[in-house]
Amino acid sequence: MKPVMVVGGGISGIQAALDLADQGIKVYLVEKTPSIGGRMAQLDKTFPTLDCSSCILTPKMVEVARHENIEILAYSEVLEINGEAGNFKVKVRKKPRYVDVTKCTGCGVCMKYCPSKVPDEFNLGLSERKAIYIPFPQAIPLKATIDAEHCLWFQKNICRNCEKFCPAKAIDYEQKPEDIELNVAAIIFATGYELIADHSLLTDQYGYGRYANVYTNLEFERLVSATGPTGGEILRRSDGRKPKNIAFIQCVCSRDIRMNPNCSSICCMASVKEGILVREHHPDIEVTIFYMDLRAFGKGYQEFYDRAKEEFGIRFVRSKPATIVENPETKNLILYYEDTHASRYKAEEFEMVVLAVGVKPVVPDSFVPIGEDMFAQVKDPYLDPVASPKPGIYVIGMLNSPKDIPDSVIQGSAAAMKASILACKS
């Protein structure tokens, strides 16, 4: 029985890996960043139950780490795939961490003495990390990584503090990339998503990047999180003050034929959740959600929306936002919009704005064909929704199409089942 490879260590890839491994199939879990966990690790609470995201995710990550049939290849990337269903040869590059993972204990002393600071991608740039870092406290594997681009030793031949202070003597500046070839029966791609945060519309129309108090919804997840840059305090970027009111704007860079006609499917519930979190933390902050139409399609989602209105007093305005203009003195934001319910043009001032930005898949090079909708092509959207047109290759989670965590998990299990058939035959 040949192993199976899962590429992408977010929740969908984790689920696929666990289901395969529990059947006795060896799994290589390839993750390009230093830790598995994906976006779910960055979320604060999850809709519709408001469970703490990392409290649900961390036990699964630990299960992956402890599973005898799973080999995690973190900080690694697929370079080449040859062969066919049942017998793929995959070349994987293990990137150098410049840290010997067999010695590193994850104690974090190196980070304390590293003088070089860079924007922390886990907190979406809302805070800084060191050039030697562990992405988040629950990271798996819990090993440090040197970001050579920002390390003073690699850039200027000075420092070496991490080497001096590492109690485990784990620093190894001489590490090189290591290429390995693996023979697997099937490959499951679960490379997830990113926000369409680089579109000019975001800057021009909504002032993102120009106005300090405009945030994306993922940034807001970190802002409201107890493990985030402000310890969960909702504080404005401009003056560190708690806002009196917050506007959430839906369908930004999505359902818009100018750049992305797709519905991102999770934004409605994400904003409802974030609005509830605001009201839970600070009942005095007023929350308004500007929406085109609300999609509450999942189990418990309609009830969640009803609670937001009735129990938490969130205001919902059916509207078409036109533009945002900043008051240069107060850094408050004036939102101009059409109230499509009242058929009126209106302007309202807010102290913070959160944009529910559309999502796009992280495409794993040319290994999976992409459809007209930007997401991975599937063989049959009705009867084989996780199979790519290439036999033996499966596409799941947000790479497949926009979806929430429960649907990502379902696809993880579905692809594990399909891949296990090939593994058992090989």
What mask, x for binding ligand FAD by CB under 6 A, covers residues 174 to 213? Answer: ----------------xxxx--------------------
Least spacing, CB of residue 215 vs ligand FAD, in Å: 10
What mask, x for binding ligand FAD by CB under 6 A, covers residues 343 to 372? Answer: -------------------x-x--------
Residue 15: which of 47, 45, 59, 48 has the closest Cα? 59
Tell me: does residue 31 bind ligand FAD (CB under 6 A). yes
Least spacing, CB of residue 193 vs ligand FAD, in Å: 5
Tell me: does residue 275 bind ligand FAD (CB under 6 A). no
Least spacing, CB of residue 425 vs ligand FAD, in Å: 26
From 3, 9, 358, 392, residue interacting with ligand FAD (rule: CB under 6 A): 9
Residue pointed to by tokens 């080449």: 80
Site size with ligand FAD, rule: CB under 6 A: 37
From 5, 6, 7, 110, residue interacting with ligand FAD (rule: CB under 6 A): 7
Of residues 31 and 351, the one with the C-beta less far from ligand FAD: 31
Give CA angle at 253 (354, 235), nearest 5°. Answer: 15
From 4, 5, 11, 197, residue interacting with ligand FAD (rule: CB under 6 A): 11
Least spacing, CB of residue 19 vs ligand FAD, in Å: 14
Q: Are 380 and 387 in contact (CB under 8 A)?
A: yes
Tell me: does residue 54 bind ligand FAD (CB under 6 A). no
Of residues 147 and 404, the one with the C-beta less far from ligand FAD: 404
Tell me: does residue 40 bind ligand FAD (CB under 6 A). yes
From 33, 69, 238, 377, residue interacting with ligand FAD (rule: CB under 6 A): 33
From 398, 415, 419, 422, residue interacting with ligand FAD (rule: CB under 6 A): 398
In sign, the C-alpha dihedral spanning 235, 42, 322, 281 is negative
From 26, 129, 199, 273, residue interacting with ligand FAD (rule: CB under 6 A): 273
Of residues 236 and 273, the one with the C-beta less far from ligand FAD: 273
Least spacing, CB of residue 312 vs ligand FAD, in Å: 16
Residue pointed to by tokens 């519930």: 269
State the residues that interact with ligand FAD by CB under 6 A: 7-13, 30-33, 38-40, 43, 46-47, 77, 190-193, 217-218, 221, 266, 270, 273, 362, 364, 397-398, 403-406, 408
